[in-house]
């Protein structure tokens, strides 16, 4: 009896179930259509926001970012940066741009399409001059700083933004410096003003390529000047690098902005209050630019050679692999690993970025009157032993505390 009663009830409910399912499908399609309509509105809105950001950057560059202009200077403005072109040396005299936190979310890929600058009155079609010249087309404004805006990134590939750089610089320390600037913006969440350029002087050599038609001068030095004038702790710093191998960490090339002004004759940030300008241009403190989360926070500058009594800094350690040597630096981090049964002492840079480290194996622990893991942290030391290499990083295995001397003792 119960079965006979159930069958008509199911038949009665079936149309309602079908209608409910149809209503759910219709509701889903309606929501999807609304989402597509919103997405269609999103693209022009995002484009408008990008253009507004670029307009703000141009306004603030004009207001705060340009060096003082000479009577013959003609400022060329592009999306994301500005420059003064040096027609005699056929490289930019200087470029100015702002690195903003947008660089964190920007994900545009390099385009590598170098073009003549339509706003520069002289011909800047320099493809043949650089091709097989032995020099890279070195960006003064990095394309990666503009990876959040296609228009701004394209503008960095104009030859007016390019200067000849040795591959050892462009692909090495210069790229590290550009990354250093982006990291301080990423972890500090504040934009910075940047002025970059070659150090120009009379008598610089020219690029010589078979099909070249320009007289492009090859700089010996490049500068990058950085200022944070938005944040609560306004600060400045500059860097100078030679056009070749620069094997030390980026912070080793830090100099006061004043020194770049003396070298180039440029007057940076002239629109700032005189007191503030003088203060930030006298600074040279790389540590003030690190923020929580930066993987390089806590690094120390390698000691400047030559060191006394035939000692060497951590960057030089790689030249002494296989020999007994004394390597000096600051113990910036230590770590004990049960797997290796050892204490690792990282000098000048933290793992995994260190140029040199020392190892104290647990079985040598009794040869120390102190705990190396805690006692040596943040101390300047000189470690003597045979330099070996593991995973391409030089190291010394320390047998006893007599093989570690403190820097203050060395200087006595």
Taking CA atoms, 282 is separated from 67, 96, 181, 289, 371, in Å, by 16, 20, 19, 15, 40
In three-state secondary structure terms, 167 is helix
Question: Is 139 among the residues known to form the active site?
Answer: yes
Distance between start and end Cα atoms, the chain: 108
Q: Kindly name the residue from 78, 97, 139, 214 that is annotated as catalytic.
A: 139
Pairing of strands 380-390, 221-228: unpaired
CB atoms within 10 A of CB 335: 14
Which helix (H) or strand (E) element contains residue 77? strand 75-78
Copy the structure tokens of residue 279. Answer: 């203060």
CB atoms within 10 A of CB 150: 15
Rounded to whole angstroms, the Cα distance separating 9 from 156 reads 74
Copy the structure tokens of residue 6. Answer: 């159930």
Taking CA atoms, 76 is separated from 15, 71, 80, 141, 269, in Å, by 72, 15, 11, 14, 18
CB atoms within 10 A of CB 44: 9
Within 8 A by CB and 6+ apart from 319, the residues are 312
What positions carry a catalytic annotation? 139
């Amino acid at each position: 009896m119960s079965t006979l009663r159930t069958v008509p009830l199911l038949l009665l409910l079936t149309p309602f179930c079908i209608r409910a399912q149809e209503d759910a499908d219709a509701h889903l399609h309606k929501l999807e259509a609304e989402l597509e309509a919103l997405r269609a509105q999103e693209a022009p809105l995002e484009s408008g926001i990008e253009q507004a950001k670029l307009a703000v950057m141009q306004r603030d560059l004009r207001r705060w970012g340009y060096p003082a202009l000479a009577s013959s200077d003609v400022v060329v403005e592009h999306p994301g940066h500005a420059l003064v072109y040096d027609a005699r040396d056929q490289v930019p005299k200087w470029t100015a741009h702002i690195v903003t936190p947008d660089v964190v979310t920007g994900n545009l890929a390099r385009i590598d399409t170098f073009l003549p600058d339509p706003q520069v009155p002289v011909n800047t079609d320099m493809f043949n001059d650089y091709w097989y010249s032995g020099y890279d087309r070195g960006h003064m404004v990095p394309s990666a700083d503009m990876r959040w805006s296609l228009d701004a990134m394209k503008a960095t590939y104009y030859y007016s933004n390019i200067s000849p750089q040795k591959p050892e610089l462009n692909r090495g320390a210069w790229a590290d410096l550009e990354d250093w600037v982006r990291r301080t913006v990423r972890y500090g969440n504040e934009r910075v003003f940047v002025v970059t350029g070659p150090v120009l002087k009379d008598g610089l050599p020219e690029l010589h390529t078979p099909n070249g038609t320009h007289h492009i001068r090859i700089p010996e030095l490049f500068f990058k000047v950085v200022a944070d004038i938005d944040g609560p702790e306004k600060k400045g710093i500059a860097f100078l690098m030679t056009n070749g191998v620069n094997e030390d960490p980026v912070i080793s090339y830090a100099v006061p902005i004043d020194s770049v002004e003396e070298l180039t004759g440029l007057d940076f940030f002239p629109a700032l209050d005189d007191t503030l300008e003088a203060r930030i241009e006298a600074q040279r403190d790389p540590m003030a630019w690190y923020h929580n989360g930066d993987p390089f926070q806590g690094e120390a500058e390698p000691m400047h050679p030559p060191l006394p009594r035939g000692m060497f800094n951590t960057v030089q350690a790689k030249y002494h692999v296989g020999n007994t040597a004394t390597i000096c630096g600051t113990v910036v981090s230590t770590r004990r690993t049960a797997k290796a049964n050892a204490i690792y002492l990282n000098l000048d840079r933290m793992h995994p970025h260190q140029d040199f480290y020392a190892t104290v194996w647990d079985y040598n622990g009794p040869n120390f009157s102190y705990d190396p893991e805690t006692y040596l942290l943040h101390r300047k030391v000189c470690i003597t032993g045979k330099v070996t290499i593991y995973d391409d990083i030089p190291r010394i295995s320390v047998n006893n505390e007599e093989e570690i001397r403190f820097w203050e003792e060395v200087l006595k």
